[in-house]
Each structure stands twice: as structure tokens, then as C-alpha cells.
Amino acid sequence: MPQTPQALSDAAAILATRRKTGAQGARLPQPMRPQDAEAALAIQALVSAQAGAAITAWKCGMPVEGQPVAAPIYGDTVFNGGLCTAWVRGGQVRVEPELAFILGRDLPPRPLPYSAAEIDAAIVRTCLALELIDSRYSDPDEAGFLENLADGLLNQGLYLGPQVDAEHACSAAVLAIDIDTGAGETIRLDGRHPAADPRAPLYWLAEFLRGRGQGLQAGQAVITGSYAGSFGLPVAQDLVIQYGALGKIAVHFSPR
């Protein structure tokens, strides 16, 4: 039996409240759990409406076993300029090193698909980025894909770093990620983009949203997958993360 609009709204209310307060809790009650991707995306959209914050970025990836990988990121959780506020778990902020493609023009809904060339032309700059990771579930692995999709795919925000060379970035299938925590030691991760082509998930997202009558807007950033999974970084320290020859991010986390 399809879930009722009330069940979807109630699920969104739980997730929106947890997102606002930083609380984590059990999985959604059984009657509220999304039964398919459409229900999960409906809950996701209701969370956005209840949050009342502008969508200034998106996270995406190539579909997994036919399931969409897309979630909005809200303006009050996007940071730059060195300082970043985030929910802290165990003294750390969990992050994923990514590239962010910033749009300089709208890609609105239309009858015809967008070509890769049209989407490339809409990108005004490419930046280094850190996705800020958190869940509204105490055990997101137990919740599974659909409940995590409803919750925004473990996103709590985004840190935007400096602009980088777009041509080099779009061909950066492999990047060494060097993390300097200021303790005299550098941690190296052998980074590899999950889609190989960092723009491929953006092409998919533009088409996915076009087909749903949504589209993308000028000024929005789109991140397309982590080069090195997720890992924790300490708060109250000056951190530097080098992305191969592309450039580096300097960031200082403080708790929300």
C-alpha cells in the first residue's frame, strides 16, 4: 500500500527537527519508512520545505543499482573563507574531499535533454570542496539506502575552497589527498574519483532534475563524489588539505 501524504510529512518533520537541532535517533517508524526512491525523494523535498532554507548546492553521484544519488544542500550550511561551523561527533567533523562545480547560468526544466557541452558552458568556476558529513540516524548503516536518501544522503553541509583550473579539474580522475593537521605529520590518501570523470554525475543530475521539472540554478554548487571516502578531522585546529597539483584548502572547524 502506498504511503499516505501524512506519513511522508511526519517522516520529514522528524528528519527536519533532527537536522535543525543536531540530534540523532532511531530509524523512522515503520509506517513512515520510504518504500521506494520516489517516496524517499518526496520526504527529502518536504524536509527542504520545512527547513525553509534556500537550496544553494547539490550533492550527487552516478546512480547505484538504478537508484538516484542526489540531495540538496542548504545555504545556511555552506561555508568558505577559512572558518566552518558543523555538528561535531567525538571531537571531529567528518568530511569528504570533492570538487564543486559552480553554475553561472540556469539549467531550467525544458522538453529536450541538455548536452554535456551545454552543461559545461554553464559552469562558471570549479572549486575545491569538503562535503560535511553527518546523519540524523544513530546508525545510518542500519537505516539503509532509501532512508538515507530521504535524509539527504548523510550531508550536513559544504565547505567551499579556492577556485582551481577547470581544465585540469575536469580530467582529475586521480588525486593524492594530503592532510596536514598541524601536528607535524601529513597523512596521504590515494584519491580516486568514483565516476572517473568528475563532471559525469553533474551531467546525470542536470538530466535527472530536468526530467522532474526542477532544474538547476545559477549560483548553485554541485559536488559529484569523494576522492577518498569520508574521514574525521579535529575541531579548533588550523587544517590544510592538498588536492594533488590542483591546490589546497585551509579550514578551521568550530562546533555548531
- Residue pair 223/129 in contact by the 8 Å Cβ criterion: yes
- Whether 63 and 69 have beta carbons less than 8 Å apart is answered as yes
In terms of Cα–Cα distance, which of 65, 63, 57 is closest to 132?
A: 57
What is the average per-residue pLDDT within 25-41?
97
Query: What is the CATH T-level fold of the domain 54-255, as seen in this structure?
Result: Fumarylacetoacetate hydrolase; domain 2 (3.90.850)
Rounded-to-integer distance, Cα 97 and Cα 49, Å: 28
Q: Taking each helix axis as running N to C, give the angle between helix 5-21 and helix 140-150, from 0 to 180 degrees, rounded to the nearest 10.
A: 110
Confidence class for position 199, pLDDT limits 50, 70, 90: very high
DSSP 8-state class, residue 115: P
* Integer angstrom CA distances of residue 168 from 30, 51, 53, 127, 175: 47, 37, 33, 12, 11
| Every domain of the chain and the residues it spans | 54-255
Mean pLDDT (whole number) for 45-70: 95
Relative to beta strand 155-164, strand 123-133 is antiparallel
What's the number of CA atoms in the CB half-sphere (13 Å) around residue 155? 32
pLDDT over 70 for what percent of the chain?
100
Grid coordinates in use for 38?
A: 520516489
Q: What is the spatial distance between Cα 163 and Cα 64, in angstroms, rounded to a whole number? A: 29
Average pLDDT of the segment spanning 229-248: 96
**Res 36: pLDDT:** 97
**Would you state the cell numbers that stand for residue 199, as one nine-digit string?**
563532471
Model pLDDT, residue 1: 59
The least confident of 9-18, 30-39, 47-56, 130-139 is: 47-56
Contact 110, 210 (CB under 8 A): yes
What pLDDT does 103 receive?
Answer: 98
Question: What is the helix (H) or strand (E) element at residue 8, kind and residue range?
Answer: helix 5-21
* pLDDT exceeds 80 at position 183: no
What is residue 31's three-state secondary structure? helix
* Distance separating alpha carbons of residues 191 and 177, to the nearest angstrom: 6
Does residue 128 contact residue 245 with C-beta atoms inside 8 Å? Answer: no
**Residue 74: all three cell numbers together:** 542548504
C-alpha–C-alpha distance, residues 127 and 139, integer Å = 32
Does this model's pTM top 0.85?
yes
CA distance 238 to 241: 10
Q: Residue 184's pLDDT band (boundaries 50, 70, 90)?
A: confident
